[in-house]
Amino acid sequence: MTLDEELVRALKEDYKSAPVSEQDALMLDFVVRLTRDAAGISANDHQRLRSVGFDDQAILQITLIASWFNYINRVADALGVGREDPVSQ
């Protein structure tokens, strides 16, 4: 969480060029990979996270949080939450 609006804007535009630490950049790469191809995650992906200081508990937390957001966003999308033409109406 951040109140830095400029950082938020940079992350939204292109997280790869946003001014974040190497640790945060690798975490974001992992989360994008998890979102796009969870079955493709390998021990190498976990090792990359470990190489910048994440332990197994942190990797689990990153995975759970990203997966939960992916899940809840799909539920909201399917129900039309936040849209002008909700599916349930």
Query: Is 73's pLDDT higher than 60?
Result: yes
The dotted CATH code for 5-79 is 1.20.1290.10
- Can you state the angle between helices 56-79 and 43-51, rounded to 10 degrees? 120
What digits encode the pLDDT tens for the residues 27-47? 999 999 999 999 999 999 999
Query: Is 3's pLDDT higher than 90?
Result: no
Query: Is 48's pLDDT higher than 60?
Result: yes
Q: Where are the domains of the chain?
A: 5-79
The number of CA neighbours under 13 Å toward the Cβ of 7 is 9
